[in-house]
Every structure is written in structure tokens, then in C-alpha cells.
């Protein structure tokens, strides 16, 4: 277990000489907020929620005069799973828990446990920026949760914190990522990423590594929105920068390569695609595992590209592997299953193996409810 001699962010904020106002400058708060969101994104991608995010659980690895470097700690009450039906039975630090935890009804009934972390993130950023909590007492909390009183954003305005820099923009990016993954509201997600990239370039400069997440996400969102020509130069630049800063085999670099490949594929530029997809598949297998959804997705796309190039013999073993993975866990790959079987059968037909293709299609149909 790693030891953090600089202790945690709460102790730093409480230190009279290090932090006399009990709050951090906006630029420093922005840096910390971005790091928190990076950590939450990784957890949420693996279907975990922290459930106790607060300054006391942000461990300091590096502090001013050096750039901030923090790590998320204390996973004692972390939860796996997305839907929570009873907030009030779960632990957490009261001030950092959402309205549902206090007995207020959620609009959607059941609740996404990731939302607990996003509420705590917002409360943490508010605390770091202002040096105080969001609510003076339980009565004020009740008034705000009941929509009797407005959110106390006047505190932020009084400190002259600029609206476009109040770190909610990064929180909006996390929500946008979920919108993209769930194939809903692409246009709003693209606008969010465009704004995030603009703001971060203004705050940190064009060459700062912190803009790379926003650049990649914007290119990826445009590609999924079928704006391939618009996405391609953004994806190329994100890939170039990540290769330079992170190295060619880093998983984030490979994700940018995958986004660029999707642009080529969307423009039916298959001559460049297959070698890139081979690289994406191999690195995803290494870092994410051979049965991860993103690995399987890349394998199907590689099979499609090879088929389109007439390389049906190369595509067949890849697609057969995918079909076997899907058979073991059909519910996990529901969206990709028809693609894999369909493309494999097309390849078999091109090889005049029509009876084999028909048998495979019948087997696939019989296994569906």
C-alpha cells in the first residue's frame, strides 16, 4: 500500500498557513476536479461507484509549488452495480450525499449509483472553491432539495468565479460520455465536448495534456454521429499528441487510434483500416481482456473491414472467436451479436459455403428467446 506523507486534501484546506482562506484558486481547483473525474470515469467504466467522495478521501501525492497530483482513496464502501433502490440504507458522509439519500424522491424512481459520485463531486468542488459547505444547516438543505430555495450559486458569483470555468463543465463531459455510450442525445454530447475543448484550451493552452481527453471525446462523438470528415482531423491530432506524450502502446493512445479508424471506416477508406484495427484489437486484449465489450467491438469491426477487402479467409477465425464469446454471454453483447453472425455468414457465402452459413443462421435464430 502506497504511503502519502502529504496526507489528504481536507487537511490541506484546514491548514492555516498552507491554505489561509480554506479554499483554492480557481485554476488549482480545476486541475484537481479534472483528476477526480478521470478517476471516477475509470471506476464507472468498470461498473463501480465510490460512494464516499470528499476532500478527506483525496490523497495528495504532489502539491504547490508543484502542480497538484491527487489520488482517490478509501474504497471501503464502494459499490458495484448501477441501480440502487434504497439510498437511505447506505453509508456515506451526509453532507456529500444526494437528495435521494436524505429521503427526497428521485424523478426516475430507481437511481444510477454513479449519480451519487457526481453529486459528491459537485459538492467537493464547491467546498474547494468556496471554503465552505453548500448548506448552512439542515433547514437550508431541505429548502434547496424541496425546490423552495434556489441553489446557492451566489456564493460562487461573489468570489468572481467565472461561469464557464466552474468545473461543472467536466461533470457535463462525464454525462455526455454516458449519453454517447447509450446512443442517445449525440448532438448535446458533441456540443458539450466542443465547449469543454474550447474552455480547456483557453485555461491550459493547446499543448497541455489535460485537453487530450476532451479532444479525443469530441472526435469520437462526431464519428459516432457520422460526421466522419469533421471528426478525422480531431482524431488524428488526439492520436498524434497521445502517441507523443503517452507512448504508442498506452491504452488511451489505442482508444484514439480506434476513433480514427472509425472515421476511415465511415468514409469507406478500408485500405488504411485493417492494420490499425489489428493493433487496436491486440492492445485491447492486453489491457482490457479478450472478452471485454470494447475488444469484441473492435474484433467485429476488423472482421467487417477484412471482408470488405475480400480477405474472407483472414476474417473468418476472428469472427468465429467473436461468435463463441457471444454464445457464452449473449446478454452482454446483444448489440454486436447480429453483426458478427451476419458478417461471418457473408464471408462463408463468398466462399460458396452456403449450407454452412445457413446452418449458422438457423442456430443463431434458435438461441434467441
Domain membership flag for residue 274: no
C-alpha cell at 28: 488549482
pLDDT at position 24 is: 92
Domain membership flag for residue 204: no
Domain membership flag for residue 58: yes
C-alpha cell at 266: 465511415
302 and 158 belong to one structural domain? no
Domain membership flag for residue 178: no
Which residues of the chain are under the pLDDT cut of 50?
82-92, 106-110, 166
Q: Is the peptide bond before 161 cis (omega within 30 degrees of 0)?
A: no
Domain membership flag for residue 244: no
3 and 141 belong to one structural domain? yes
pLDDT at position 107 is: 46
Beta bridge partners of 71: 59
Beta-strand ranges (E) seen in the chain are 48-49, 58-62, 69-72, 79-80, 83-84, 111-112
Q: In angstroms, rounded to a whole number, what is the distance separating the alpha carbons of residues 315 and 312?
A: 5
4 and 144 belong to one structural domain? yes
CATH code of residue 359: 1.25.40
CATH code of residue 51: 1.10.510.10
pTM > 0.75 = no
152 and 296 belong to one structural domain? no
Q: In angstroms, rounded to a whole number, what is the distance separating the alpha carbons of residues 211 and 223?
A: 18
Domain membership flag for residue 22: yes
Task: For the beta carbon of residue 16, count every other beta carbon within 10 angstroms.
Answer: 8
Domain membership flag for residue 282: no
User: What's 66's DSSP letter?
Assistant: S
- Number of domains comprising the chain: 2
Picking from 166, 201, 226, the residue at the C-terminal end of a domain is 166
C-alpha cell at 225: 454521429
Q: In angstroms, rounded to a whole number, what is the distance separating the alpha carbons of residues 347 and 340?
A: 11
Picking from 116, 144, 166, the residue at the C-terminal end of a domain is 166
Picking from 125, 143, 166, the residue at the C-terminal end of a domain is 166
Q: In angstroms, rounded to a whole number, what is the distance separating the alpha carbons of residues 256 and 237?
A: 9
Where in the sequence is the domain holding 26, given as residue range(s)?
Answer: 1-166
Beta-strand ranges (E) seen in 94-163 are 111-112
298 and 162 belong to one structural domain? no
pLDDT at position 316 is: 92
pLDDT at position 84 is: 43
Domain membership flag for residue 24: yes
Amino acid at each position: 500500500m502506497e504511503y502519502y506523507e502529504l496526507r489528504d486534501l481536507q487537511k490541506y484546506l484546514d491548514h492555516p498557513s498552507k491554505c489561509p482562506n480554506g479554499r483554492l484558486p480557481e485554476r488549482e481547483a480545476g486541475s484537481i476536479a479534472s483528476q477526480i473525474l478521470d478517476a471516477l470515469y475509470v471506476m464507472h467504466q468498470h461498473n463501480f461507484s465510490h460512494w464516499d467522495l470528499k476532500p478527506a478521501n483525496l490523497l495528495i501525492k504532489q502539491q504547490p509549488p508543484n502542480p497538484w497530483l491527487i489520488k482517490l482513496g478509501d474504497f471501503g464502501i464502494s459499490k458495484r452495480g448501477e441501480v440502487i433502490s434504497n439510498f437511505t440504507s447506505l453509508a456515506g458522509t451526509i453532507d456529500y450525499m444526494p437528495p435521494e439519500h436524505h429521503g427526497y424522491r428521485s424523478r426516475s424512481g430507481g437511481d444510477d449509483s454513479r449519480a451519487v459520485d457526481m453529486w459528491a463531486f459537485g459538492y467537493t468542488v464547491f467546498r474547494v472553491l468556496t471554503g465552505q459547505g453548500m448548506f448552512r444547516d439542515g433547514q437550508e438543505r431541505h429548502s434547496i432539495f424541496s425546490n423552495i430555495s434556489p441553489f446557492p450559486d451566489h456564493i460562487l458569483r461573489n468570489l468572481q468565479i467565472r461561469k464557464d470555468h466552474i468545473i461543472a463543465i467536466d461533470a457535463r463531459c462525464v454525462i455526455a460520455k454516458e449519453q454517447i455510450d447509450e446512443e442517445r442525445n449525440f448532438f448535446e454530447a458533441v456540443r458539450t465536448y466542443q465547449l469543454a475543448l474550447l474552455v480547456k484550451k483557453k485555461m491550459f493552452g493547446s499543448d497541455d495534456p489535460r485537453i487530450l481527453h476532451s479532444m479525443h471525446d469530441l472526435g469520437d462523438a462526431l464519428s459516432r454521429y457520422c460526421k466522419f470528415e469533421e471528426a478525422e482531423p480531431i482524431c488524428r491530432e488526439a492520436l498524434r499528441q497521445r502517441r507523443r506524450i503517452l507512448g504508442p502502446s498506452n491504452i488511451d493512445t489505442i482508444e484514439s487510434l480506434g476513433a480514427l479508424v472509425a472515421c476511415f471506416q465511415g468514409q469507406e477508406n478500408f485500405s488504411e483500416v485493417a492494420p490499425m484495427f489489428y493493433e487496436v484489437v491486440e492492445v485491447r486484449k492486453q489491457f482490457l481482456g479478450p472478452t471485454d465489450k470494447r475488444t469484441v467491438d473492435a474484433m467485429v469491426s476488423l472482421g467487417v473491414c477484412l471482408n470488405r477487402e475480400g480477405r474472407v479467409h483472414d476474417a473468418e477465425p476472428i469472427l468465429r472467436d467473436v461468435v463463441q464469446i457471444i454464445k457464452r454471454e449473449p446478454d452482454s453483447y446483444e448489440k454486436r451479436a447480429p453483426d458478427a453472425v451476419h458478417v461471418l455468414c457473408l464471408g462463408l457465402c463468398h466462399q460458396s459455403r452456403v449450407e454452412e452459413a445457413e446452418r449458422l443462421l438457423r442456430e443463431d435464430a434458435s438461441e434467441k428467446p
